[in-house]
Structure 1
Amino acid sequence: MLGTVNRILLGLIGLVLLAAGVVVLTAAWPLGGRHEPLLTAATRQRWHPEGWWWWAVFAGLGACVLLALWWLLAQLRRSRLAAVVVDTGDGGFALLRGRALVEAVSAEAGALDGVARCRVALLRRRGGPHLRVGLELEPYAVPADVLAALAGPVLTQARASTGLPELPTEARLRITSHRARRVT
């Protein structure tokens, strides 16, 4: 969702800057000329008697500042999970490093038949940890077999090592680019 918000914000900011640039280049309204101020004294005084005007301006600027702060904090938030809390069964808890889990799943998934390359990320979601697995398949690989092998022993082992009843996983499959075989 953050990527969508970023694209929308960048698009809106780009449109506003484009419109402002066109206005400045054409020296059209609101600029009266090179030496004229942006807001004339008459324009400033026109809104002075209205009590709601300045409150609306301040509320709009405050909303813009709050939205900008929210966007900045959303950019700084890390979506990768550093560790998973594992119940040891004796009333204690242990921390399983996220990187260790990612490397283990990556090694097991990369060893599957037909997998050329594997990338795994452990992400933080509302329901708990979430795995994103990107598999690059060899040209001869059958995607259904690779998915079955991934969902079977690989993810079962990951769920057992984390002690989680379920570990939601998103798998993205790609076929490696290859040249056609030359027949002689």
Structure 2
Amino acid sequence: MLRTVNRVLLALAGLVLLCLGGGVLAAGAGLDVPSWWPWDGRRDVLLSVADRERWRDEGWWWPSIIAGLAVLVLLALWWFCAQLRRSRLTEILVDSGDGEGSQLRGRALEGAIESEAESLDGVSRARVRLSGRRDQPTARVRLLLEPYASPAVTVARLASEAVAHGRDSAGLAALPAEARLKAAKHGATRVT
């Protein structure tokens, strides 16, 4: 939910800035702009002579304004790039031992760990998501447990079997994993 709100607010802010910038460029180019637009002609300026000369004697004023705006633009670009970054790891760097590296698709390792986790006794469904860096991935495992399953035993077997086999098969030194457990809800059934 927060990710969606973040992206909607970013898109709205970008749209407002794009419209304002386009309007200023249109007015500066001499194109027709609405009558309510504050800058309506080719000779009109964003800052009047009085506004610009108010701080003219202060040598620090304009460099500090330009530096502040530059920092603001860099922060906005960083925020925008952070929105586009994927949270799911698409590939894992595997050391093949010959000085070269190979790549393993993240979905392939996720699928292998999921299928082995689902084969554990008491696990109804498993979902695995890899995140982190290509050479140091982390796993988030969600397990839907049957009512008879023991959470402690299931987590121990998950760590010693499914996650350990995934770590060993990818040739990773470590594969930290976070497991979230949820109990399956079964509806009442009629026994006759």
Tell me if 1:102 matches 2:141. Answer: no
Q: Contact 2:93–2:135 at 8 Å: present in 1 too? A: no
Distance 1:83 1:126 in 2: 6
Specify every segment of 5 or more residues in structure 2 that has no aligned partner in the other structure, as ranges.
Answer: 14-35, 40-45
Instruction: Tell me by how many angstroms 1:105 deviates.
Output: 0.4
Structure 2 partner of 1:60: 68
Runs (5+) with no aligned partner, structure 1: 14-33
Alignment deviations for residues 55-83 of structure 1 (CA, whole Å, 9 cap, x no partner): 22111111100001111112222233233
* Cα distance change on mapping 1:52 and 1:162 into 2, 3 Å: same
What TM-score do you get using the length of structure 2 for normalisation? 0.65
What are the equivalent positions in structure 2 for 1:118-133 lying under 5 Å apart?
A: 118-125=126-133, 128-133=136-141
Question: 1:149 aligns to what SS in structure 2?
Answer: helix
The 1-side partners of 2:106 and 2:173 are apart by 17
Report how far residue 48 of structure 1 moved: 3.1
Percent identical: 55
Deviations 1:4-55 (A, max 9, x none): xx69x98xx9xxxxxxxxxxxxxxxxxxxx9x99988765543333222222
- What TM-score comes out, normalization by structure 1 length? 0.67
Runs of 4+ aligned structure 1 residues displaced above 6 Å come to: 36-41, 180-183
Structure 1 residues 126, 59: CA separation in 2 closer, same or farther (over 3 Å shift)?
Answer: farther
Match of 1:51, SS?
coil
Within the alignment, does 1:46 sit opposite 2:54 as a pair? yes
Name the aligned partner's letter for residue 139 of structure 2: L
* Matches of 1:65 and 1:91, distance apart in 2: 41
Partner SS state of residue 87, structure 2: coil
CA RMSD, Structure 1 to Structure 2 (Å): 3.6
Q: How many Å separate the matches in 2 of 1:169 and 1:122?
A: 9
Secondary structure of the corresponding residue to residue 88 of structure 2: coil
Q: For 1:156, which of 153, 164, 169 is the aligned residue?
A: 164
Deviation at residue 124 of structure 1 after TM alignment: 2.4
2:176 paired with 1:168: yes
The corresponding residue for 2:123 is 115
